[in-house]
Amino acid sequence: MNLIKANDYNDLSRKAANVISAQVILKPDCVLGLATGSTPIGTYKQLVEWYKKGDIDFSQVTTVNLDEYCGLSTENNQSYRYFMDHNFFLHINIDRKNTNVPNGLAVNYEDECARYDKLITELGGIDLQLLGIGRNGHIGFNEPDISFEKTTHIVELDESTIEANARFFDTVDEVPRKAITMGIKSIMQAKKVLLIANGPDKKDIIEKALHGPVTPDVPASILQFHPDLTVVYCFE
């Protein structure tokens, strides 16, 4: 486990972007697992800035996102496809057909989960997976559970997650109650994992996740067993 303390959010974003850019430079056709939420926005902004300066080339990169809300179209400004397009993909030279996000409007969610797992396998696995962490320890939308065994699946969102995400919607009632997410098993199969955490409200859960018992009650705690984990954090 490689722990990197950042001075502030901008420093965290630069340090995380450094890890991702190094992966792309070392393996231009790499597979990046990407995350949404407020914490990665600065990381994506930094990567876009470096791309515009000519320091990084995304033309051969393939991406797979962790999750998507069930019931939101790709045009909905709260969907994670929309988030990725507007915060990252539309500002770099990535081929959009090589950007993958679970289909939140799938007719059959079970089939969509199987399709997504098959896609990741056919790509040769994820070279670097970017993660944020929820206040209850969730990674992706993997809420506290009774086991770590799941691959891509549908999850009922925890009330604390719904409340945390309500700030992005007009009312809490508009927050979807279900999401499709890569499972813990899928995440752990990534060759490298980069976990980023920002703000004083993440201090306790990071302590539990990285230094407490490994338990599905704290989903991120399984990362203690990952052979190549980097954590960039700032609790200021």
Active site residues: 67, 136, 138, 143
Residues in CB range of 118: below 8 A, 6 or more apart: none
Please check whether residue 85 is in contact with residue 159, taking contact to mean a CB–CB distance below 8 angstroms. no
Across 90-111, b (16+ Cβ under 10 Å) vs e yields ebbebeeebbbbbbbebeebee
What is the rounded distance in angstroms from the CA atom of residue 20 to the CA atom of residue 64? 14
CA angle (83 as vertex; 80, 85 as ends), nearest 5: 110
The letter for the amino acid at 212 is G
The letter for the amino acid at 137 is G
What is the rounded distance in angstroms from the CA atom of residue 119 to the CA atom of residue 125? 9
As a whole number of Å, the end-to-end CA separation of the chain is 22
